[in-house]
């Protein structure tokens, strides 16, 4: 088409560049988009670009450790660029206690923390980080099979918590029923609206405590909680 005009990407309005770059992954923004031109680099350095950090699908267990180190370095860089404005972060596989501490020290406004299958995050590391995140409203943990989780301390540290999702978290290779998690939730998290306890070992006693002490609860997911009996006696 002879009359077609070439687009100068550098001259796009900042608002449009911002919308385009938000569609890119964190690695693409850090490694590629910021090098396109000065205007794109300027937008990439805007703290508003880093209010949400999505770091899922960054690798698998079969990949080399240097890949995980690169992912962690990118995550730290993104946290730095947020300049304390980070509100939501989602990390899969490569998280560590050290990275979590780094995030907590620089992101006191964080509201959503989602961690999936991060074998190098311990219960103590999580607790130390969460105690600094007093504005946290959403905490999701998935596939932490051998984590000792101090839910009572987490509840006391995060009075604004509205969503808690625990997907196969804890020593669930044991065969004994246990209501410790449920009772801690009932005791310290009265403001919960959404609760997911997949694979937990709670019994009817723990379930009743949650129902009685969490009056705002709207969503309750108890899949694979084998010690609960909802059949009337």
| pLDDT for residue 1 | 45
| pLDDT for residue 63 | 55
Q: Is the pTM of this model over 0.85?
A: yes
Mean pLDDT of 85-113: 96
Burial 123-144 (b: 16+ CB within 10 A, else e): bebbbebbebbeebbbbbbbbb
Q: Domain 49-221 carries which CATH code? A: 3.80.10.10
| Banded model confidence at residue 209, pLDDT cuts 50, 70, 90 | very high
233 CB-near residues (< 8 Å, 6+ apart): none
| pLDDT for residue 7 | 61
| pLDDT for residue 171 | 66
In the chain, which segments carry CATH 3.80.10.10?
A: 49-221
Name which of 1-15, 35-49, 152-166, 216-230 the model is least confident about: 1-15
In the chain, which segments carry CATH 1.20.1280?
A: 1-45
Cβ atoms of 62 and 40 within 8 Å: the answer is no
Question: 1-45 has which fold?
Answer: Monooxygenase (1.20.1280)
User: Of 197, 211, 87, 195, which is closest to residue 142 (Cα–Cα)?
Assistant: 197
């Amino acid at each position: 088409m002879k009359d077609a005009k070439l687009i100068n990407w550098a001259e796009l309005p900042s608002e449009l560049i911002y919308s385009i770059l938000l569609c890119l992954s964190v690695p693409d923004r850090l490694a590629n988009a910021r090098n396109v031109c000065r205007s794109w680099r300027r937008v990439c350095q805007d703290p508003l670009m880093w209010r949400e950090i999505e770091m899922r699908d960054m690798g698998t267990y079969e990949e080399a450790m240097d890949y995980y180190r690169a992912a962690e370095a990118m995550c730290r860089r993104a946290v730095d660029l947020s300049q304390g404005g980070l509100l939501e972060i989602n990390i899969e596989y490569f998280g560590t206690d050290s990275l979590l501490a780094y995030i907590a020290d620089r992101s006191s406004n964080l509201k959503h923390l989602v961690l999936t299958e991060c074998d190098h995050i311990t219960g103590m590391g999580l607790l130390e980080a969460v105690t600094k995140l007093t504005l946290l409203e959403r905490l999701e943990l998935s596939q932490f099979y051998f984590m000792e989780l101090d839910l009572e301390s987490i509840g006391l540290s995060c009075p604004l918590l509205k969503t808690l999702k625990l997907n196969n978290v804890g020593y669930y290779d044991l065969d004994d029923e246990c209501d410790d998690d449920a009772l801690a939730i009932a005791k310290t998290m009265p403001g919960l609206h959404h609760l997911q306890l997949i694979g937990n070992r709670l019994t009817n006693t723990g379930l009743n405590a949650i129902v009685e002490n969490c009056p705002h609860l709207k969503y309750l997911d108890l899949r694979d909680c084998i010690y609960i009996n909802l059949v009337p006696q």
